[in-house]
Amino acid sequence: MIDLVVINDEPVNFHFPDHYKYVYLDILEEKYNIKTKMIVTERGESDFDHRNVLLKLKKNSTKNIARRVAYSAYLIFYVFKTLIFDSRVKGMKYILVHDEPIIAFVSYVAARLRRKKFIYRITHLKAEEVGQSKGFKYAILSSFAKWLRNFLIKRADAVIVMSEDMKQYFQNFINREIHCISSCVKMYDDSQTLEIPERIKAIKRKVKKNSLCYLGTISSSRGLNFIIEVIANIHAKGLQKELNIFGKGTDKDFIELREKINTLNLQNHIFLYDQIPMYQLKYVLEEARIGLSPYLYDHNYILKYNSPLKTLDYMSFGKFVVGSDIGDHLETILDSKSGEVAKNNVEDFSNSIIRLNNKLDNLGTNEFEYQISFFTNWLKENRSLDSSAKKVFDVLKKMG
């Protein structure tokens, strides 16, 4: 017997954050006795496995329309078949679907046929972003996705969104209760850094004391070129700081970023590294002091209404933060007193880094440690996996 079936179309070996994985697969059962099974996808082959994974489907990210239709049909068939006929979902009370409107609609129909509660969880506004692409095809896809998504928002038994800004966005044209459960983070303790490969130890030795860091996607659309210009600007203002960048990206992304770094003669001050496991990052960044979280949200729906993970990662590592002035940062950075929020221009962002750095330089050891303790405790209380699980449980409890 199970209580909740969760369907998430993000591939487990590409983008399956802790605030979904551990909350759904472990914590809900451990703390609230909510037995959960998940239907997930994988891109290619993955070694991801868990006793509570109900079904693992192949993810296809092709841009070919015919193949996308075939892939959607494949998903629809297996999801519907599982929700209606699979004996392993016997006794379920709730079906929760992330984002994908076609799968959400199929799941909504299955929920109604089986007289179960349907929850729609929205973590991005890709439909709006697709509509900004040039071409009639994208306009049609965007319009259909938005119509279907809004249909489901109106009819779902509960709706959960990623940020307060996203909640307000929907409530501007849909009058209903919407729950907000923002990103959360796994807190890594020092015992998880005991087995560190020599390669990682070598990287750690290169990270200078009180340097800057960036974690995340290596892409110009995510503000990396902007950050390179910021580093050039703070150097021109007299603050000589190194920046260590850790992330995932294509070879082309890395090449373009290195070209930008070389153009501004910053190759001895900015260092690029591939993505490494989070518990190893905490060890590597022990000497770093400030994390950067640029979100160039102008004309970018996904970033504007997002709830960034990197900000929480920095805080969980005990790092202060300078981030763009999106709504979620106003909460995570300002409420937790972990840093500064800046407008998305080189001058303001640079000044915020300099101001925060000077402030930290003037703190005594006890006050410095107190500040870190304060925002770490805030994180545990407001954005930990346990706090997220409780919010999901509260939504289920309210529906009965």
Lowest mean pLDDT among 55-64, 210-219, 374-383: 55-64
For the stretch 63-78, pLDDT in tens is 677 777 788 888 899 9
DSSP string, 305-363: T---HHHHHHHHTT-EEEEE--HHHIIIIIITT-EEEE-SSHHHHHHHHHHHHHHHHTS
- Among 9, 81, 13, smallest CA distance to 50 is for 13
**Could you give the CA distance from residue 283 to residue 223 in angstroms, rounded to a whole number?**
25
Q: What is the mean pLDDT of the chain?
A: 88
pLDDT at 350 over 60: yes
pLDDT of residue 130: 80
Q: Which residues sit opposite 324 in a β-bridge?
A: 342
Q: Is the separation of the CB atoms in 276 and 247 below 8 Å?
A: no
Question: pLDDT above 70 covers what percent of the chain?
Answer: 91
Question: pLDDT above 90 covers what percent of the chain?
Answer: 60
Q: Is the separation of the CB atoms in 93 and 117 below 8 Å?
A: yes
pLDDT at 390 over 70: yes
pLDDT at 15 over 70: no
Q: Is the separation of the CB atoms in 354 and 287 below 8 Å?
A: no
DSSP string, 110-126: HHHHTT-EEEEEE---H
Residue type (1 letter), 260 = K
**Could you give the CA distance from residue 339 to residue 343 in angstroms, rounded to a whole number?**
14
The residue extents of the domains of the chain are 4-184+384-399, 190-382
pLDDT of residue 304: 67
Domains 4-184+384-399 and 190-382 share a fold: yes
Residue 8 binned pLDDT confidence (cut-offs 50, 70, 90): confident
pLDDT at 33 over 70: yes
Residues 6 or more apart whose Cβ sits within 8 Å of residue 137 = 65
Taking CB atoms within 8 Å and a gap of at least 24, the contacts of 42-47 are 42/11, 42/12, 42/13, 43/11, 43/13, 43/14, 44/13, 46/11, 46/12, 46/13, 47/13
Section 349-359 average pLDDT? 97
pLDDT at 353 over 80: yes
User: b vs e for 104-122, b when ≥16 Cβ sit within 10 Å of the residue's Cβ?
Assistant: bbbbbebbeeeebbbbbbb
pLDDT of residue 20: 76
pLDDT of residue 92: 94
Helices (H), the chain: 18-22, 28-32, 65-85, 101-113, 126-131, 136-155, 164-171, 198-206, 224-236, 251-263, 278-284, 301-304, 309-316, 327-329, 346-361, 365-382, 385-399
CATH 3.40.462.10 fits 4-184+384-399, yes or no: no
What's the order of all strands across the beta sheet hosting 243-248?
A: 270-274, 243-248, 212-217, 290-293, 320-324, 339-342
pLDDT of residue 218: 81
DSSP class of residue 23 equals I
Lowest mean pLDDT among 45-59, 102-116, 144-158, 303-317: 45-59
Section 37-62 average pLDDT? 78
User: Domain 190-382: what homologous superfamily?
Assistant: Glycogen Phosphorylase B; (3.40.50.2000)
DSSP class of residue 81 equals H
For the stretch 322-349, pLDDT in tens is 999 888 888 899 999 999 999 989 999 9
For the stretch 212-251, pLDDT in tens is 999 987 876 566 788 999 999 999 999 999 999 998 888 8
pLDDT at 55 over 60: yes
**Could you give the CA distance from residue 98 to residue 121 in angstroms, rounded to a whole number?**
5
Exposed/middle/buried for 189, CB within 10 Å: 0-12, 13-18, 19+? exposed
Lowest mean pLDDT among 104-118, 212-226, 250-264, 379-393: 212-226
User: At CA 387, angle to CA 382 and CA 393, rounded to 5?
Assistant: 140
pLDDT at 7 over 70: yes
pLDDT of residue 135: 83
Q: Is the separation of the CB atoms in 216 and 253 below 8 Å?
A: no
pLDDT of residue 151: 97
Residue 303 binned pLDDT confidence (cut-offs 50, 70, 90): low
